[in-house]
Structure 1
Amino acid sequence: MLIDAWFPKDETSPGVWGGGQVHVRELRSRLVADYGCQVELFYAAHKNLLIRSLWVLWVVADVLLYSRYHPQIHLLHSHGYYSGLAAKLIGFFLKVPVVHTVHATPALDQAKKSPKLLIEKWLLTKLHYQAEISLSSHFLKYPNVNQRLSVIPNGVNIQAFNQVRVVKYPTTTLIWVGQADPSKGLAVLKAALVKVRRLYPELKTELVTGGRLSGRAIIKAYKKSHLFCLPSLAESQPIALLEAWAAKLPVVVTRVGENQTMVKSGINGLLVDPGNAQQLAKALLQLLRSPRRATAMGLAGYNLVKNHYSWDQVVAQTYAVYLEVLQTSAMAAENKLVFGLNPHEN
């Protein structure tokens, strides 16, 4: 398994714990514990973009060396962006299939011409993988050379949230959780809060960025708060939304990515247009003025993730993709042998 993000070895290590890292952690641990898989993880050692780019070459050599002294590698599963290219190179040399998971497509979604857009488009829609997984169904709208596409969303550990008991902050508190990236819409949130505080000057904010909190600490932060906001300009399927619902919080999110499918505006949260501080302020005021309605929305969101967004479901669906890919690869190898070709030769 490969991921091109800065990935600490455990939650006590300093580092960035974003949605991609959490996804890989949960997937890896459950594949080992529940399916008896042997999963070796290779990751970029730092979040710096240059280091992550150079890591593509380093990890190819690293995995090839690893394969010489360890049991046979049957499948490669890459996550993110550059790791897909690395996995393709490794797969070529080792003759093993590659599954790639798309965690986010901010450049594609915002459609702003830039080198990042060209790179993202090439890595995610022009490179051919034996199977591609997206967290969000909205990725399916983009032209793609990959025909074997699956939508497998993130999950949340609802039991971990239920086990944590807290006392709410004495003052109404809004929590935002995300990476320090413009696409997460923090600037829009701050502009909206200026408007909201004209009527609710006592409103407090808990801004959790860069993996500042994880484990029980982040669960406590969610559960002590009163409402959640994620005004992203682009999004796939945010784990933060699932976590907010696991804490029974009412949510305000933007109409981007899978938010539009998951959030039924007025039932389990409120939807606003991305980049619209006026709409965002209006939605936040709705929740602040109607605490009973806000509580009902939070409970509806909790029931949704409890019934449909467990990590066990995520892993089961991912494992099914593995089996399908391995079966197809085995059949292809058999066909090559039938026609007198050695599948280990170019």
Structure 2
Amino acid sequence: MSPRIAYLTGEYPRATDTFIQREVAGLRALGLTVETCSVRRTGVEHHTGPEQRAEAAGTFHVLEAALSWRLFAAHLAAWRRPGAWLRALRLAWRTRPGGIKATLYQFIYLAEAAVLAHHLRARGLTHLHNHIAKSSGTVAMLCAEMTGIPYSFTLHGPDIFYEPHYWRLDEKIARARFVACISHFARSQAMAFSDPAHWGKLHIVHCGVDPARYDRPRDGAGAHLLFVGRLAAVKGVPVLLEAMESLIADHPGLRLTLVGDGPERAALEARAEGLRGHVDFVGYKSQDEVAALLREATALVLPSFAEGLPVVLMEALAARVPVVATRIAGVAELVEDGVSGRLVAPGDAGGLRAALAEILGDGTLRAGMGAAGRARVVAEFDSAREAAWLAQLFEGYSGGTPPATLRPEGGA
């Protein structure tokens, strides 16, 4: 019998995490029951398009329930199984990061876990899967201890790798039924912070895209660079703006469109004042709107200082758009330097400028990179294929016959 799965993350749905939404849709298309849970309710400004609004309406919000009568009902239900509740309490205490504030948060996570446990039992859900294994991963771990319902999680990075001991990544891996790592790099980090006895349950499941969504005629004209991502320091946008300043002399019609929002937006807009007429900040856009922008783009640029394996790079390559990105984390597992794009050192404005100049100046090179990039995404990052592999993991572990391979047969 297939497991009935609850998906938990900190905020769902969200414009920056559409890959989770695609994964849920892919599992449902395969006939699995998947119900979504979110610790917090995402603001409506983060919902782009009718698909996300529909997902938001059907999602259980843990914190809202915890601030209602359901918290009392959840703990009353938990005390009917006092042994399990006390085990969860001991686990919360033992895995607390230390310090008064962090300890208080740990008990908030325990309360949220009780509310989630009550919901899972009421809905007859038999497996809990978590994305972004930080605070919501702690809630999932405590909920599993409280209920006996097994859990798994998808490991992204990079931020959790900065503080693996704070977030007790070792304990989460040890207790999980399996871990879906988004790249070989993410898996290597999980191996660094876990006992070798658990390495066999560390599988690689790519975040994927639907290549058909991006298989449209390219109508780009002129020189148009595209950035899609959160406007935060880690994304390295000032380096891109510095490179733009020197590129404009050779490409006077050059445009840069920045899709996204975040804490650095106002500062970046001020920084780009001298590039007025060449740089546009357009905020969040839906998947269809991003796909339309990709059809106009000459190249997609992602000058990040830290990443996991960015889905936007997959989207660009699926649309036959060359990418220029930094050589960090798992990016080289997707982008082959000189074949489907260019990889440059993070923080190197001169190197970024040179890579962009090369691509902007050679249409034949762009066409070849576009074709190679799409072939790579179709072969290894198709969301339907990745959902089928994830479903195989859910069902295999549930049935006691887990797959022994890192990737599905024939996958890289």
TM-score strictly above 0.5: yes
Cα distance in 2 between the residues matched to 1:250 and 1:68 = 48
CA contact (8 A) 2:156 2:186 kept: no
Is structure 2 residue 187 aligned with structure 1 residue 140? Answer: yes
> Which of 165, 168, 182 is the equivalent residue of 2:233?
182
Is structure 2 residue 80 aligned with structure 1 residue 75? Answer: no
Pair 1:191–1:37, CA change in 2 (3 A): same
> Which of 36, 45, 64 is the equivalent residue of 1:41?
36
Pair 1:121–1:279, CA change in 2 (3 A): farther
Cα distance in 2 between the residues matched to 1:261 and 1:192 = 25
In structure 1, the partner of 2:295 is: 223
- Helix, strand or coil at the partner of 2:15: coil
Q: CA deviation at 1:283?
A: 0.4
Pair 1:213–1:5, CA change in 2 (3 A): farther
**1:48-127 equivalent positions in 2, closer than 5 A:** 56-57=109-110, 59-71=112-124, 73-80=125-132, 81-106=134-159, 108=161, 117-118=162-163, 122-127=167-172
In structure 2, the partner of 1:27 is: 23
> Which of 6, 12, 20 is the equivalent residue of 1:7?
12
In structure 2, the partner of 1:157 is: 210
Cα distance in 2 between the residues matched to 1:275 and 1:135 = 24
For the aligned residue pairs, the C-alpha RMSD in angstroms reads 2.6
In structure 2, the partner of 1:204 is: 255
Q: What amino acid sits opposite 1:144 in the alignment?
A: F
In structure 2, the partner of 1:291 is: 363
Q: What amino acid sits opposite 2:15 in the alignment?
A: W
Q: What amino acid sits opposite 1:124 in the alignment?
A: L
Pair 1:125–1:22, CA change in 2 (3 A): farther
Q: CA deviation at 1:328?
A: 4.0
> Which of 178, 189, 192 is the equivalent residue of 2:243?
192
In structure 2, the partner of 1:17 is: 15
Q: CA deviation at 1:275?
A: 1.2
TM-score w.r.t. structure 1 length? 0.81
Q: CA deviation at 1:149?
A: 0.4
Structure 2, unaligned runs of 5 or more = 1-5, 44-62, 65-104, 262-282, 403-412
Cα distance in 2 between the residues matched to 1:121 and 1:273 = 29
Q: CA deviation at 1:4?
A: 3.3
- Helix, strand or coil at the partner of 1:283: helix
CA contact (8 A) 2:157 2:308 kept: yes
In structure 2, the partner of 1:339 is: none
**1:319-338 equivalent positions in 2, closer than 5 A:** 319-328=391-400
Cα distance in 1 between the residues matched to 2:323 and 2:383 = 21
CA contact (8 A) 1:2 1:87 kept: no
Cα distance in 2 between the residues matched to 1:250 and 1:166 = 12
Q: What is the aligned-residue identity percentage?
A: 24
Q: CA deviation at 1:218?
A: 1.1
Offset from partner CA, 1:272-291 (integer Å, 9 cap, x none): 01111111011001111212
Cα distance in 1 between the residues matched to 2:257 and 2:138 = 37
In structure 2, the partner of 1:310 is: 382
Q: What amino acid sits opposite 1:38 in the alignment?
A: T
Pair 1:195–1:67, CA change in 2 (3 A): same
In structure 2, the partner of 1:114 is: none
- Helix, strand or coil at the partner of 2:163: helix
Cα distance in 1 between the residues matched to 2:324 and 2:218 = 23
CA contact (8 A) 2:8 2:128 kept: no
- Helix, strand or coil at the partner of 2:371: helix
Offset from partner CA, 1:186-206 (integer Å, 9 cap, x none): 121112112222322321011
